[in-house]
Amino acid sequence: MSIRQSRRERAAVLAAVLREVQVAECWQPCQPSNYIDTAVRRWMTSDRRIKPAKSTPENRVRDLLRGLREAQGDDLIYEEPGWLEHLAERFGTALLAADRASGASPEA
């Protein structure tokens, strides 16, 4: 199995986990796949932005929040205050659990 293929498979697993979070939260944004795609991409590439010595779960969730804010752009003003923070925390918790369950490292 190639690295690219394993990344794709891991991205599919992480996207499925985030869809479960979406359903559990009864969350129905207009384009949920945009948030999920952004979260998966940001999570899988966090090792490029966070130095290994500072790669903690809290820093990874903070990085995820930063990515979601950047992806939201000007539309952020239409959301409830604290909504993206809540979303990043829920997604981060699910992504950390998925990483632990699969034994994957951040750079896998």
Q: Tokens 């290994």 belong to which residue?
A: 52
C-alpha torsion sign, points 38, 44, 48, 52: positive
pTM over 0.75: no
How do the pLDDT tens digits run along the chain, 108 residues long?
Answer: 455 557 777 778 777 877 777 777 676 655 556 788 888 889 989 999 999 999 899 999 999 999 988 987 776 666 667 778 888 888 888 888 888 887 765 544
Helix, strand, coil percent values for the chain (each to nearest 5)? 80, 0, 20
Q: Tokens 């699910």 belong to which residue?
A: 94
Residues 78/30, Cβ–Cβ less than 8 Å: no
